[in-house]
Every structure is written in C-alpha cells, then in structure tokens.
Amino acid sequence: MKVEVLGSSAGGGLPQWNCRCENCRLARQGDESVVPRTQSSVAVSPDGRDWVLLNASPDLRDQVNAFLPFHDVEGSRGTRVRSVVLTDAEVDHAGGLLLMREAGRLDVFTTPAVREHLTKHWTLLPALESFLDLQHRSLRVDVSGPSVGLFDGRLHMDTFSVSGTPPSYSVRSATPGDTVGLEIRDADTDRTFVYVPGLGEVTDALQARLRGASLVMVDGTFWSDDELAAVDPSAPDARDMGHMPMSGPDGTLRILETLPEAQAVYVHINNTNPVLRRDSTPRDRVESAGVTVARDGMEFAV
C-alpha cells in the first residue's frame, strides 16, 4: 500500500489567509525555517495506480494537480481517484468535495453522523448530488462486522470512533461517529496504516491499534493546550476543540514515542504549532522521539 500526504496542515493551512502568528508570517515571507502547507488530506493506493482520498480539503484542486499519478489515465477526461472517505464533517476535511463535482460519479464513505451533518446542517452532499452520481457508502462504527473492501478487496478498511466535537455549524450535540479514525490493512502484506487526523483522547483501544500498525498518522493540531488562545484570545483550549495536544503527560507524543514497530507521523498540524519551525525546541523534541512532522508530498510505503 502507498500513502501520500496531500496536505499536512489543519484548517486554514499555512499560512492562513488572515493570520500573522509567527509561523504564518515566516511562511508568507518565504523563510526557509517554515515550509507552507495545504489543508489536511491523504491519498491511499494498493498499487500506486488507483487511489482513494482520505478527506477532501479546500486545497484539493492544487493538491490533485500536483500529484501526477492521479492523471495517469487514457482519454481526455478522467482520474485515478476512485472514492473519498471522510473522517469528520469539518470544512477542512469535506469542503473539497465541491471541487470534485465534474467527476461524473463519486463514491463517498461517511458515518451516519457525518452524513447527517453534511445533509441537514451544511447541505453539501445534496448540493454535490445535483452535479454527479453520488454513491453514498456507509461507514459503521463501534460494531463488529466485516471490514469495508476497497479496490476489489486489496485493501480492507475498519472505522472506529474517537473522541471529538461536532462541527461548529451543526446544532446537535456530540454523537459517536462525528469523528472517526481509519485502519487500512493491505490484504497481501497484512500490514496496516492507522489514520487519526482528529483525536480528542487516547484510549487503551486506540493505543492497541497504534501498536499493531506499520504506519500511523495522528492529530498534530496543537503542541500545547492554550496555543491558539495566544493568538486569538477568544479561542478555546485544544482539548475543548477535540484535539489532544502533543506535549504534556497525557499528550500524544508520549504515546507515539513508545510505539515499537510503527512509523509515526503527525498530520493536521495547525499553523500556530511551534513544531512547524525547523529550529524550535518542540520540533527537536518530536524528532528526537523518532516521530515525523509531515510535509505535503511525503510518501510512505506500507
């Protein structure tokens, strides 16, 4: 299985259009210590030919144009992107679906909770349906059952619920399936890739999944709990936004540095996060722990 990081930043990207935090200023100036990043999405393929997108970011157009394997098709129209899986209904993960409206047909995998957000509270899926043949594929969470087969069974995908918050545009209270992680197994090698770009709490069950994986990509939104409040005093803490910070005794770095087998990578990194600066102490801490800070265009083989 191949995994391509299309976008490694959280919502807003780096630099974010209206932000003058230190990272955004440096990235805008072209300072080499902070590399610009697009919003959160990865692509997965069993063979490097056919691909599924995990999340569709508002930067999808640039991401797709930059990744040549998607364009290895016969004829004047078409793509190697066969489907999209959403891990939540946030703008940064779903907004790019509207940029795929010329597809003709698109398979979109959602949990019932995500589909409800994108049908009742933000009518993105009905809007998309007016442009193309939208095949709704259901992701079940927290029920044991057969995995979803992708690419004629060459990949198997399990979905699991993680702690998160419903999107701020939605009126209903939190429910399981608002935010999910994915475990994708290669049928040939039996190796797994675990993708959890939003993560409010690290449970024992999640740790067990991470331990069994060859590659994990985990929520790297914030280094510290109060990081966003430093640039936006009205902002809530990281945990209240459904993002466990990297640092601290219960932070995600303590978990990722103990994984025996897995290559661990932070994705969905917010533009305020000091790990984005190549010369920062937090970046040094992460890299000394053997964990990778993702950049757009990184490729992994599982």
Q: How do 51-54 and 41-45 pair as beta strands?
A: antiparallel
Is residue 10 within the footprint of ligand MLT (CB under 6 A)?
Answer: yes
Q: How do 215-219 and 51-54 pair as beta strands?
A: unpaired
Q: Select 2 or 115, whichever has its Cβ closest to ligand MLT.
A: 115
Is residue 264 within the footprint of ligand MLT (CB under 6 A)?
Answer: no
Report, in Å, the least distance between residue 231 CB and Zn ion: 6
Report, in Å, the least distance between residue 11 CB and ligand MLT: 2
Contact between 122 and 92 under an 8 Å Cβ cutoff? The reply is no
Is residue 296 within the footprint of Mn ion (CB under 5 A)?
Answer: no
If one counts every other C-beta atom within 10 angstroms of the C-beta of residue 149, the result is: 12
Contact between 267 and 42 under an 8 Å Cβ cutoff? The reply is yes
Q: Select 2 or 277, whichever has its Cβ closest to Zn ion.
A: 277
The tokens describing 234, both together, are: 């009205």
Is residue 158 within the footprint of Mn ion (CB under 5 A)?
Answer: no
Is residue 273 within the footprint of Zn ion (CB under 5 A)?
Answer: no
Q: Select 50 or 219, whichever has its Cβ closest to Mn ion.
A: 219
Question: How far from chain centre, in Å, is Cα 248?
Answer: 23
Instruction: Select the residue interacting with Zn ion from 1, 5, 21, 60 (CB under 5 A).
Output: 21
Q: How do 81-85 and 51-54 pair as beta strands?
A: parallel
- Out of Zn ion, Mn ion, ligand MLT, none, what residue 241 binds, judged by CB under 5 to 8 A for its kind, is ligand MLT
Contact between 19 and 232 under an 8 Å Cβ cutoff? The reply is no
- Out of ligand MLT, Mn ion, Zn ion, none, what residue 91 binds, judged by CB under 5 to 8 A for its kind, is ligand MLT
DSSP state of 1: -
Is residue 92 within the footprint of Mn ion (CB under 5 A)?
Answer: yes
